[in-house]
Structure 1
């Protein structure tokens, strides 16, 4: 029994972190070969057709809670985006801000800027209120502390020329003003690569609230208790039979936090929201959903089970120490967790320190998932969010 538990846990962990990306790479390779064969037989032009006609109206919706320190920079960044001014608006949804955010938005004289202010209710209440108010056919969602590159809106919107596309996720690049390299950057690059390949199959497993776009007509009001709106909204669109794609050239930038306790709390909050979302996208749990279900189980559900799988693999390994192979696997696990502990202390130098930091990030990320699951079981995670302090704030 211990051997069965060990191998089940190990295989599932290896699948979610290694085999699943390899499957995506292989599927993309096969699809590319098939595409090339069709092209050689037909001789059709592979160049993307240039868009014709009037570009769609776009509304940039930003949920803001006490963002006085960055809202003016956000407005300046938004109004400088390269999109026809007469087809573009910025809608700031203030969620009971009490620090002067509303007054700063009202002081903006550009008629493309609108403010929708209401008492504190959480980000979900802001989106439920503002998305139906938006004048654009395409709604771009962003955070107040996220700065968008000038061409990003055009690069998101061009995908909606395909009527099967319901949502487009941009690429969020994190930066740390005090560290050239930091723990989250490696994992973030890895996750972005997976999203890129999922996007080629029209099934990106969730967006990042910093930058993504949806067809306004496909938005379904969210339950007031929703915690991870940027995960649920794209998956609900996927459930409706539309594609969710990834546009790596639509780039936005966001600063990471130096407060690791708050960062851990943010991850735990997201984890609680992930477990909560299971009842909001039930059709993606069924194998009948095809590739989206495979991606959902492989990329998300197994990741959320990783803390339990890691614990089971370790405990089962303790009962198998009589075998030479299992002695090595137990030693490997002990060394990995020891490396994570060294990553916390910062005792190592150079490349060893970077490896230890990644191990520490991986372990704390999974600890946050476990904490989030406990909050989900207790129903103790509130939906309203607090802005995360940044190094420059």
Structure 2
């Protein structure tokens, strides 16, 4: 029985972190071969998106802001410089009871494309429930106040909506740290971005990043005010309705990470609590009748959320299997991995590949510890929906 538990846990962990991405690569390769065969036969093949001759759709950039006085002017300057027809673009800032002068900074902007929607503090979800229906654009681009978007990103997001089956488009968020080039999250973030790229080719990106994504305004449905991870639930609801959620790697935004690792751990735990909360909001994606989106949701998300439990099961089951040399080796490998994570925490390795590997191991372990904390908050219903801005080095 211990052997069964060990291998079930090990295979599920291997699936979510390695086999699922590999299956995406294989599916993409098969799709490419099929497309090439159709092209050789002269049949109609899917073509790359081209610029539409019809007028560009109207776009509203919606930004939920809470005490963002330090960056809101830069955000407005960045947003108004987009390479998009000015007459078909607006910026709607939803202030969530800001008390630091954020509203005054927005009101000082003389550009008529900028609107402010202030209200008492109630949480980001309430801001989005208020602002997205009030947006004038057919396409709503959602972003954070501290995220700076490249000038051509909106055009690259919007062109996907020429396909009526596309309901949402996720952009590429590049994280940077002004004081630490090779920070722990970089390798994992690159890995996640690669998975999103291949999921997008299947029309099933499982969740977006809040820094940059776009949706059809008519597909938005009001969220429960207690929703914690809106940027996860909104695209999933669109996916659940049968629309595609795609990924545009050319639509790039930049966001600074925090140096406060205590607050960063809290952010991850908050997201984890929201992930568990989201299960009741998208029940259709839990069913095999949803097809590939359900497979992606289970493989990319649900198994990740249960990874801490699977890691615990693998470790405990391994302790009952030490009569075998093979299982002594697997226990040693697990012990070395956690030891490496500890070295990454204390910074015992000063340079080179070993330091980077230890840092990634430490990030992986703390990420899963944050899931445990988030799950506990979810069970106790103690995670607030309202968010606090994260302090950054600059």
**What's the TM-score bracket when you normalise by the shorter of the two chains?**
over 0.9
Give the superposition deviation at 1:49.
3.8
Unaligned runs of 5+ in 2: none
Distance in 1 (CA, whole Å) between partners of 2:180 and 2:353 is 15
Q: Report what 1:269 is aligned to.
A: 270
2-side partners of 1:383 and 1:370: how far apart?
Answer: 18
Distance 1:18 1:192 in 2: 14
Report if the CA contact (8 A) 2:49-2:159 is conserved: no
Q: How does 1:248-259 map to 2 (within 5 A)?
A: 248-259=249-260
Distance in 2 (CA, whole Å) between partners of 1:102 and 1:118 is: 10
The answer as to 2:100 corresponding to 1:95 is no
Query: Contact 2:62–2:142 (CA<8 Å) still a contact in 1?
Result: yes
Superposition pairs for residues 46-85 of structure 1, below 5 Å? 46=47, 48-85=49-86
| Paired residue secondary structure (1:251) | strand
Deviation at 1:179, TM superposition (A): 1.1
Task: Measure how far apart 1:48 and its partner are.
Answer: 3.9
1:126 matches 2:127: yes
Aligned residue runs from structure 1 range 262-301, under 5 A? 262-301=263-302
Tell me the residue number matched to 2:372.
370
Indicate how the Cα distance of structure 1 residues 358 and 47 shifts in structure 2: closer, same or farther if over 3 A, else same: closer
Contact 2:49–2:160, Cα closer than 8 Å, also in 1 = no
Q: TM-score, normalised by structure 2?
A: 0.99
Q: Matches of 1:290 and 1:258 in 2, distance apart?
A: 41
CA contact (8 A) 2:123 2:387 kept: yes
TM-score normalised per structure 1: 0.99
Are residues 1:104 and 2:119 paired?
A: no
Q: Deviations over 1:186-244 (max 9, x none)?
A: 00000000000000000000000000000000000000100000000000000111000
Cα RMSD (Å) of the superposition?
0.8
State the shift of 1:9 in Å.
Answer: 0.3
Following the alignment from structure 1 to structure 2, what is the Cα–Cα distance between the partners of residues 177 and 130? Answer: 32
SS at match of 1:50: coil
Match of residue 313 from structure 1: 314
Number of residue pairs matched by the alignment: 392
Post-superposition offset of 1:50: 3.2
Find out whether 1:27 has 2:27 as its counterpart: yes
Secondary structure at 1:10 match in 2: helix
Q: Which runs of 4+ in 1 moved over 2 A?
A: 43-50
Inter-partner Cα distance in structure 2 for 1:314 and 1:328: 12
SS at match of 1:158: helix
Where do 1:336-347 residues align within 5 Å? 336-347=337-348
Q: Which residue of 2 aligns with 1:40?
A: 40
Residue pairs, 1:345-356, within 5 angstroms: 345-349=346-350, 350-356=352-358
> Do residues 179 (structure 1) and 180 (structure 2) align?
yes
Structure-2 separation of matches of 1:52 and 1:337? 57
Give the SS at the match of 1:234. helix
Gaps of 5+ in 1: none
After superposition, give the CA deviation of every residue in 1:29-63 in whole Å (9 maximum; x if it has no partner): 00110011011101658454431121000000000
